[in-house]
Structure 1
Amino acid sequence: MTNPGDRHNPTRPLIGVGGVVWHQNKVLLIRRGKPPKAGEWSLPGGAQELGETVVETLIREVFEETSIRINNIEFLEIVDLIVQGEEHGKPRYHYTLIDFSADAAQQSTRPTPGDDAIDSIWADPDALETYGLWEKTIEVIRKSQQQRMARLSD
């Protein structure tokens, strides 16, 4: 029997938390070091641990993967990531992703990859297509960018 906490071929969805983190109008991206999507660029984030709130997960994961501390955290969107497997139509991966917008704290703005990330950068949001991002990731970044511009213009 599969353990419900297994990431491969799970028996239930796993909760992942991600962040669209901004600094000087650039967005923080990481290159994933582990499946799913190993080697691909993505938002920093990861699995929620037992006893941890989603905001605590976000703060921990962004710091572990990039050494960036964040503030001004706002809920953004919930996204389903379901990767079909080969075994009887069961998903190989099934994540419920809870995404937030946040700002980098001023004292920590140089990303350093760590934990599950093999690289981390501040990316120009006008050049997101060059990173081969999942289409839904680009949509979430654009949504965050629009909300941020609206907030800053108030």
Structure 2
Amino acid sequence: MTEPRRPKLGAIAVVVHEGQTLLVQRRNAPNAGLWGFPGGHVELGETALDAASRELLEETGVIATPTGYLTNIDVIAQADDGSVLHHYLLAAVLCTYVSGAPVAGDDAMDAEWVPVEAALSGDRPMSENVDKVLRLALDLNRTVASGEI
């Protein structure tokens, strides 16, 4: 008896530092060639918070501390006949920059600090929802800075 197919859990690290956000250009499918937040699969026994910081380090060499969840994103691709090709549930994790300069590693073709306004304007081919997640991070950072939390 085969196991039923299930969504795969992933985590993405959202780092905003000095008016820039850290993005990677994906090497592998899905989203090969597109820019998005560093991230990948959550390992068994690992929290999504820990996975986000681990994947960030593996893909960019940047160290950041996970501070909390921003949102969850379903990434579902379907074939022409309606069958599901893949389904990922991504936990978007806000991370606070600690140290390091981005260098593409692991499954990233490129990694760089991108000005927030450029990322929001879609100045390059982006993965779906990058702007939405980045706005959530900026809103939360503003709320924390104002002392409302």
TM-score by length of 2: 0.90
Name the amino acid aligned to 2:15: V
Q: Which runs of 5+ in 2 are unaligned?
A: none
Encode CA deviations 1:103-145: one digit per residue, 9 max, x unaligned: 210xx23101100111001111111210222341210101111
Q: Matched residues, percent identical?
A: 34
Partner of 1:69 in structure 2?
63
Partner of 1:131 in structure 2?
124
Q: Secondary structure at the match of 2:40?
A: strand
How many equivalent residue pairs?
A: 145
Distance 1:85 1:3 in 2: 21
2:113 pairs with one of 113, 118, 122 = 122
Partner of 2:51 in structure 1?
57
Q: How does 1:4-153 map to 2 (within 5 A)?
A: 11-71=5-65, 73-86=67-80, 88-105=81-98, 108-128=99-119, 129-153=122-146
Q: Which runs of 5+ in 1 are unaligned?
A: 5-10
Runs of 4+ in 1 over 4 A off after TM superposition: 1-4
Name the amino acid aligned to 1:126: E
Q: Secondary structure at the match of 1:57?
A: helix
Partner of 1:7 in structure 2?
none
